[in-house]
């Protein structure tokens, strides 16, 4: 497996957010972590990114232990997080945000090429390239957060709630783009409360409940699982 998360325990003070979470992501996969509010999905992603230190457990990427690595080194290995809730640099322009995404790269000469590619994927960003990011719509900010992450040339994208706060039409559009990004060779670990959308594009999924994995399997099987349907798909 490309990314292996083993028995993670994370607490915020007295709150035990993760109680032994394990999951794996294979090269080329889209893996979804679904579950209710507070299940521990975001905590899992942030621990993989190195933003939170687990009390115990291990994370390996391509066989390398990354559990104690600082976030920028983890990005340097090819794992990049697209944060939840439109966390773009609001006082910078679209172009500046994309340039920041390439900050850790050494091959500066190809950065311009990659900005072009981001604009091909997200034409709306090109139209707004000199606009301050704080003035973009929610959907555009989500696109920018994705574009900025792509600028680091990630091998794995860790996506936190890409559908959050977006109108249904835009959610469809964003998920179509996620699928396309995956098809062009990027592995994706996706955290979503919108289980329906997540299961529609994922190859495999994990269901988290109060800090534990309670179900895992091919996304299609989970989508047909009566318990999942009742709890997460509103059926």
Per CB under 6 A, residues contacting ligand ATP are 12, 15, 17, 35, 37-43, 193
Q: Which is nearer to ligand ATP, 37 or 120 (CB)?
A: 37
Q: Which residue has the tokens 């091919």?
A: 218
Q: Which is nearer to ligand ATP, 15 or 65 (CB)?
A: 15
Element (H, E) at 42: helix 41-48
SS3 28: coil
Integer Cα distance of 34 and 205 in angstroms? 7
Q: Which is nearer to ligand ATP, 39 or 151 (CB)?
A: 39
What's the min distance (Å) between Cβ of 211 and ligand ATP? 7
Q: Which is nearer to ligand ATP, 12 or 109 (CB)?
A: 12
Structure tokens, 75: 């990005």
Widest Cα–Cα separation across the chain: 52
What's the min distance (Å) between Cβ of 32 and ligand ATP? 12
Integer Cα distance of 150 and 173 in angstroms? 17
What's the min distance (Å) between Cβ of 188 and ligand ATP? 17
- For helices 111-121 and 94-101, give the axis angle rounded to 10 degrees: 120
What's the min distance (Å) between Cβ of 23 and ligand ATP? 13
Q: Are 52 and 46 in contact (CB under 8 A)?
A: yes
What's the min distance (Å) between Cβ of 162 and ligand ATP? 12
Q: Which is nearer to ligand ATP, 178 or 195 (CB)?
A: 195
């Amino acid at each position: 497996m490309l990314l292996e998360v083993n028995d993670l325990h994370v607490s915020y003070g007295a709150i035990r957010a993760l109680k032994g979470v394990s999951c794996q992501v294979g090269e080329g996969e889209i893996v979804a972590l679904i579950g209710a509010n507070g299940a521990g999905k975001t905590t899992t992603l942030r621990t993989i990114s190195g933003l939170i230190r687990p009390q115990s457990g291990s994370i390996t990427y391509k066989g390398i232990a990354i559990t104690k690595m600082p976030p920028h080194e983890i990005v340097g290995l090819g794992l990049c997080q697209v944060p939840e809730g439109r966390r773009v640099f609001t006082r910078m322009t679209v172009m500046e945000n994309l340039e920041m995404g390439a900050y850790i790269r050494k091959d500066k000469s190809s950065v311009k090429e990659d900005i072009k590619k981001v604009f091909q994927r997200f034409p709306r960003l090109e139209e707004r390239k000199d606009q301050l990011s704080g003035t973009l719509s929610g959907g555009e900010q989500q696109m920018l957060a994705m574009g900025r992450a792509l600028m680091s040339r990630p091998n794995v994208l860790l996506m936190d709630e890409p559908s959050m706060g977006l109108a249904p039409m835009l959610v469809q559009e964003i998920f179509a783009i996620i699928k396309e990004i995956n098809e062009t060779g990027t592995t994706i670990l996706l955290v979503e409360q919108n289980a329906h959308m997540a299961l529609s594009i994922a190859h495999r999924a994990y269901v988290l409940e109060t800090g534990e994995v309670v179900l895992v399997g091919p996304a299609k099987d989970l989508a047909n699982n009566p318990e999942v349907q009742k709890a997460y798909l509103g059926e």
